Amino acid sequence: MRENQLKRKLKQGEVVLGTFVNCAYPAFIEICGIAGFDFAVIDLEHSPLSVLAAEDLCRAADCTGLAPVIRVGANDRLQIQRALDIGSAGVQVPQIETREEAQAAVSSAKYAPLGTRGLSFNTRAGSYTAAGNVTERLNAESLVVVQVEGERGIKNLDEIIAVPHIDVIFLGPYDLSQSLGIPGQVGDFRVMALMEMAVQKIRAGGKAAGTFADNPATARKWMALGVQYVTIGVDVAIFLHACQSLVQTVR
């Protein structure tokens, strides 16, 4: 069982860079590792990826030392369990709005006595036949990221921050803009003000703050404000922009 270097870096106060992965072809996530990203979020919420495809992406990520984090489709016990059983470095849970929802996500991600994660060692996470204190080690190594991405979640942020065993609170700018009635306007001062306030609260509460950036300038801005867990772009969009640049340059 490998030590979770992504979790270690966050605990040491380092900034980690990642991207979202929607493509099932393992070479794409392998390239992310070769390029120097610390982690990749394998997206089972907005992409067509299956759990089986995600497991192969985890293997490819491991080949380059890239930490694979699985974003599940919902705060669902079975989805969270399967995301961890396939050997990911952690799970990212969307649309957390209350302390109770945050507690449920943690409980699904941790074995007893910390939670209620179903127990089977015949998984990639358990090296298929793991024995000994594996539950204790997996509890210690697994990363739990909860997404706060709506106005209600921001209002309940203090209670969410207080939930034990959450490593990262990820602020979703696009869903937050939608909850404020200005969908897609992530640069609007109302979105920015709420997110900046939230980052300060998260850091003061001893958690790492995370968010999504469309471009390097936005990523650097959030890093300067104390965001540690920074996702830049999505593989399909990165490929699209690279292709557009090539075509426009040649023509």
Catalytic residue IDs: 46
- Other C-beta atoms lying within 10 Å of the C-beta of residue 5: 15
Give the span between the Cα atoms of 61 and 245, in whole angstroms.
27
What Cα–Cα distance (Å) separates residue 3 from each residue in 17, 88, 137, 138, 143?
Answer: 18, 12, 9, 10, 11
Angle between helix 26-35 and 235-250 (nearest 10): 80
Vertex 166: Cα angle to 156 and 119 (nearest 5): 125
Angle between helix 51-63 and 77-85 (nearest 10): 40
- Other C-beta atoms lying within 10 Å of the C-beta of residue 234: 20
Give the H or E element holding residue 202: helix 189-204
